[in-house]
Every structure is written in C-alpha cells, then in structure tokens.
C-alpha cells in the first residue's frame, strides 16, 4: 500500500468514526485518535520526512486534503451533536406552564397552641406570671398536697398513669413518693406556693394525662391551663369578675357566665363555670343539650388545708384557683365536634386555623 492509499484509507476510517460518534465525548475520543498528537494521521504525516523528494509534493497535497476533510467533518459533526445535546436538554427541562401551581402551605402553630397563647395573653394582661411544673409528677403534688384523701377515686390506677410505685403498695398507689403522669395542672399551684409567699398571680399551661380511651370528648393526653391567685383579701367576687373577663375576651362580649356549686378536694367552696351557649344564646338547643349553658372550667377558693401543706397562713391570706382544658375551650370556640381532630394530624383540618 502506498502512503497515499494509506492516507485515503485513514480518511474513510476517520470519517466513519466521526459520523458514528453518538455524543460530544465520543467525538472527542475520535478526534484524539486521528488528529491528536499521537493520532493516526499525525503519525503518517511525521513519516513524510523520510520520503523521496519527488514523492513529497503529491503526498503533501493529499495529506493536506485529508486533514482538511477531517477537520471539516469534525466541525460539522460537532455542530450536529451539540444541537442534539441542546434539544435533549430542552426536552428534559421542559416546563408545562399551563399546569396549575402546587400550593405551598407555610407552617404555623397548632390550633391548641394558638388558643393557649390567646388565653395566656389575657392573663398576662392582668399581671399574672407564667409558671411551670413537671409532667412526671410526684403523688404528693398531684394528690396529697391538693387535699385528696388516700382513697380518692382519681388515685386509682384505672384513672392515672403510674410511672413508679415506690411505696410498693400495688397498682392503686397512694404513697406520696410514687411517680405518675400528672392528671391536672393543679400540682403547679402547690409547687409555686411552696417556694413563694403571696402575692401570687400565676397561670400554668401544660400537658396532662389520664387513662381515658380517646373519644369525641376525651383524650388520654390533653392541655390544661391552671390559674392561681393568693393575696390578702381575695374574695369569691374577685374569682367571678376574673372569669367573666376571661370568658368575654375569649368567647366574645355577649357571652354570659354562670357559676354552679360543685366539689373539688382543693377548693372550698368550689364552682363549675358555664358559658351561655353561642348557638342559641341561652334558650337551649342541641349544641348545649337544651341547657342554654356549656361548662368551660372548674374553680373555687383555695382550701385552707392546701395552704397548710405549703406553709401559707390561711388567717392572713385567701386565694382562688381555676383550671380549664384548652382542647375543650378550642372546641367550643370553633364548633369542633370531636377532640380527636386535634391529635389526628390531618393537615386538611389543621390548615383551617
């Protein structure tokens, strides 16, 4: 094979390689193989020096033609392939601007947190301070110092979650060092009074636990808000005025308040507080079971026995306390028929608030 034949064969081979390169990377490999420093064409051209002088013009001419043809083919194929690459990218990144947008919901506070915040603001406005206590509580604070006798039914293991029965007296524990999940926020009253002399004006929101099966009106874990006021000369009238203010702030100025005699171990006298039904305005309807009133919280004057446990002089001081369930307040305020909606985590429900 003469060197000219060799060059022509190389041209055919290279053109084919360029043509069959599927993408820019393959084309670059082909370029290096034929036109690169160590490429086949370059190798042939290097050999020109050893040709007889009369052969050189012919071979030089052909090799220039071959190089020109290959460079032109390379450039053309490069154009073609980058066009393909661009078209591919357009296809992959295509956006259908006629599709409806995907809604993004900004995060927000859970309805119960919002209601707690709202109630907290009302009492901060009256000069109360926020107080907290542990959710894993001692029997002493949850029951004993709140004047519950040892046989009180709320102490039963069927009603209360016990974490540790230190007294070893069985499931229906009454040992003061037993550890339980607090069943109400009232133990915070005791903890505050233990370390602070009056005047005391505190609000204690927090989680509480009861061995209830979840149903429309019960949750095994829910949120209570406790209030406690102790000072000289605090009367039942102060309690009523405070609760009326609270109810109007939360439920609206047209709502009326009614106090019904009740019993709690840690208050004497005790009262349950009703709010006039928002649905019927008090005449009685299905919402309020025909009563015209809906119960919203428990309250009363601090029992002198409780003062006895914390070392506050009941001759000098008096106080009132109240406790409410935030889920219940929220349900009444927004007409929600089932407390389980608050804990199901269904975003369609939660987003509405």
Using CB positions, name the residue nearest to ligand DAH: 323
Closest contact distance (angstroms) between CB of 262 and ligand DAH is: 8
Torsion angle of the four alpha carbons 337, 340, 342, 346, in this order, in degrees rounded to the nearest 10: -100
Which one, 139 or 226, has the nearer CB to ligand DAH? Answer: 226
DSSP conformation letters of 38-105: TSHHHHHHHGGGGS-TTTHHHHHHHHHHHHHHHHHHHHHHHHHHHHHHHHHHHHHT---TTSPPPP-P
Which one, 184 or 191, has the nearer CB to ligand DAH? Answer: 184
Q: How far apart are CA 304 and CA 319, in angstroms?
A: 9
Closest contact distance (angstroms) between CB of 163 and ligand DAH is: 19
Which one, 39 or 325, has the nearer CB to ligand DAH? Answer: 325
Neighbours of 345 (CB within 10 A): 9
Closest contact distance (angstroms) between CB of 297 and ligand DAH is: 7
Closest contact distance (angstroms) between CB of 97 and ligand DAH is: 57
Which one, 236 or 349, has the nearer CB to ligand DAH? Answer: 236
Q: How far apart are CA 334 and CA 118, in angstroms?
A: 14
CB 7 within 8 A of CB 63: yes
Q: How far apart are CA 117 and CA 267, in angstroms?
A: 26
Closest contact distance (angstroms) between CB of 104 and ligand DAH is: 40
Which one, 41 or 274, has the nearer CB to ligand DAH? Answer: 274
326 torsion bin: left (phi>0), alpha (psi -120 to 50), beta (else): alpha
User: Which residues here bind ligand DAH, judged by CB under 6 A?
Assistant: 184, 186, 226, 264, 267, 298-300, 321-323
Residue 47's alpha-carbon distances to 40, 50, 59, 126, in angstroms, are 11, 6, 11, 102
Which one, 30 or 146, has the nearer CB to ligand DAH? Answer: 146
Q: How far apart are CA 219 and CA 339, in angstroms?
A: 7
Closest contact distance (angstroms) between CB of 154 and ligand DAH is: 9
Closest contact distance (angstroms) between CB of 350 and ligand DAH is: 26
Which one, 174 or 267, has the nearer CB to ligand DAH? Answer: 267
Q: Which of 198, 205, 260, 261 is nearest to 229 (CA)?
A: 198
Complete edge-to-edge strand list for the sheet that includes strand 136-138: 136-138, 179-181, 162-164
DSSP state of 220: S
Closest contact distance (angstroms) between CB of 266 and ligand DAH is: 6
Which one, 178 or 226, has the nearer CB to ligand DAH? Answer: 226
């Amino acid at each position: 094979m003469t060197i000219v034949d060799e060059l022509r064969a190389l041209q055919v081979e290279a053109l084919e390689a360029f043509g069959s390169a599927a993408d820019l990377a393959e084309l670059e490999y082909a370029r290096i193989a034929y036109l690169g420093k160590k490429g086949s064409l370059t190798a042939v051209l290097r050999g020109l020096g050893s040709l007889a002088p009369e052969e050189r013009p012919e071979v030089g001419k052909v090799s220039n033609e071959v190089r020109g043809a290959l460079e032109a083919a390379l450039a053309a194929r490069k154009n073609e392939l980058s066009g393909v690459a661009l078209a591919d990218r357009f296809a992959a990144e295509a956006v259908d601007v006629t599709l409806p947008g995907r809604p993004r919901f900004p995060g927000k506070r859970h309805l119960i947190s919002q209601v707690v915040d709202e109630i907290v603001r009302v009492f901060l406005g009256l000069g109360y301070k926020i107080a907290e206590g542990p959710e894993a509580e001692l029997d002493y604070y949850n029951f004993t110092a709140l004047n519950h006798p040892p046989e009180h039914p709320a102490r039963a293991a069927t009603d209360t979650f016990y974490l540790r029965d230190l007294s070893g007296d069985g499931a229906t524990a009454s040992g003061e060092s037993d550890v339980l999940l607090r069943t109400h926020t009232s133990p915070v009253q005791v903890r505050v009074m233990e370390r602070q002399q009056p005047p005391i004006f505190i609000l204690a929101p927090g989680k509480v636990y009861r061995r209830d099966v979840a149903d429309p009106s019960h949750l095994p874990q829910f949120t209570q808000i406790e209030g406690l006021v102790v000072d000289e000369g605090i009367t039942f009238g102060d309690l009523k005025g405070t609760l009326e203010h609270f109810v109007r702030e939360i439920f609206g100025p047209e709502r009326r308040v009614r106090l019904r005699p009740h019993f709690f171990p840690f208050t004497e006298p005790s009262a349950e507080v009703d709010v006039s039904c928002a649905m019927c305005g008090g005449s009685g309807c299905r919402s309020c079971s025909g009563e015209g009133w809906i119960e919203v919280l428990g309250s009363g004057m601090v029992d002198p026995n409780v003062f006895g446990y914390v070392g506050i002089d009941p001759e000098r001081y008096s106080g009132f306390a109240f406790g409410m369930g935030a889920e219940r307040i929220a349900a009444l305020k927004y007409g929600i028929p089932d407390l389980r909606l608050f804990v199901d985590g269904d975003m369609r429900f939660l987003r509405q608030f």
